[in-house]
Structure 1
């Protein structure tokens, strides 16, 4: 019975963690190019049941199966499906299309991070930066300076300022979604091999929207809350049964 309580509690922890992820998804519905996190809950390690109350003739208990030890978050990966495109007409807004694995490179105090959010701006040094002030990197892994009025960003990421090509956006491919880890501020780290992206198209004056499906996330939230409540009820039942069993042995 104690193991039943432990299993229910472990499952509730997994449900709570997944619920936190769903809430975060819903909070970022309006965040440009936000990517929802896919999390799967599965049965954790099972233990073999080798002993039973019914003994065999040779006094050995037969193997009868496995006893579950609760549920846990088994896998998680970033959902790289594309969000819709929004036309903004802003000259420093850019969206990546055609290649869902392609990302912009961003220089941060903690190293290079990656994002799909192209709502860029300029800092006081005329450097192209994110909304948090982190420099956007070129194909040469250097900050991009835009000193001029007429800015044209071509479909291959090349940048022309007042008719002169000055730089090219550094677009890379992160091919394994399970190795992409959210770092906050719509930035991601990646522990796999980073390669130059191909097959993408840059759209100037557009932003990619979040890929969060509000209806699906709300349905998932309701299902998770009901499952969590079921876990609470299971713990109460197990606790009551344990109390009744112990009361039979009291003198």
Structure 2
């Protein structure tokens, strides 16, 4: 019976939907995390009576047809790239992006990755790095005798060094943005990679046309909304239950038909 396979595709789709929701909820406190949502498409149809086909020798056509669907499939899990809440941390090297753009990170193999997580630290050489030790591009090194570091909204990094009255310029942070942010490949560790779908990165200083600005001492939190996720979870559970009910009903119908043949 076709209903068994159709309902089973619905159960499989909702199972994947719940997995996405669980990942969103698990990353509610992950800095710079962007939630995912599930997008579905219907599967192929079997035409019992094709719409528009001839219905008589007089040339009349069917205004409607009879099409039986075969279920549903998960077609995409795009990321929602909306701005997350910006929260104070009081850490010198924590930087949040307000608006468009990604920080650029140099991986050990020379690949450039992109992140919204601005929880930076200093390595033993005084270089600005991520929590995993990856260099923030372009490289910025803080002198050992630095008293304080200031990062402006435009990404200019300056240090107050012992024995000097004027601040010392250390470098300029840059941001990258993409024509299709949802096309970026999630690598894990709060990092994204460029793909053909995302397009090539556009680079500029913070505050440039189409780019956001920076805020020192703050971090962008995830854009996961707990109420929305719980609502989606309940809807997915109910859809799963209804599909399982269809399977039970189809099974009962098959049992009835089988008993009639005995």
Shared fold per TM-score greater than 0.5: yes
Deviation by residue 1:47-100 (Cα, 9 ceiling, x = unmatched) = 32349xxxx889xxx88332212112233321111111111221100011132x
Residues 98 and 187 from structure 1, CA distance in 2 versus in 1: closer, same or farther, beyond 3 angstroms? same
User: Is it true that 1:27 corresponds to 2:26 in the alignment?
Assistant: yes
Deviation by residue 1:134-178 (Cα, 9 ceiling, x = unmatched) = 22211xxxx433334222212121222332222222310023133
Q: Which residues of structure 2 form unaligned runs of 5+? A: 161-166
- The corresponding residue for 1:171 is 175
Residues 166 and 234 from structure 1, CA distance in 2 versus in 1: closer, same or farther, beyond 3 angstroms? same
- The corresponding residue for 1:133 is 133
CA contact (8 A) 2:81 2:182 kept: no
Instruction: Work out the CA distance in 1 between the residues paired with 2:20 and 2:113.
Output: 21
CA contact (8 A) 2:150 2:158 kept: yes
SS in structure 2 at match of 1:220: helix
Q: TM-score, normalised by structure 2?
A: 0.81
- For residue 247 of structure 1, report the CA deviation from its aligned partner: 4.1
- For residue 236 of structure 1, report the CA deviation from its aligned partner: 1.8
- 1:200-215 matches, cutoff 5 A: 200-215=212-227
Once superposed, what is the RMSD of the aligned Cα atoms?
2.3
Instruction: Work out the CA distance in 1 between the residues paired with 2:130 and 2:19.
Output: 26
Residues 177 and 5 from structure 1, CA distance in 2 versus in 1: closer, same or farther, beyond 3 angstroms? farther
Instruction: Work out the CA distance in 2 between the residues paired with 1:206 and 1:118.
Output: 8
Regions of 4+ moved over 3 Å: 246-250
Matched pairs, number = 236
- The corresponding residue for 2:93 is 92
Q: Which residues of structure 1 form unaligned runs of 5+? A: none
- For residue 245 of structure 1, report the CA deviation from its aligned partner: 2.5
CA contact (8 A) 2:80 2:182 kept: no
CA contact (8 A) 1:104 1:171 kept: yes
Q: TM-score, normalised by structure 1?
A: 0.84
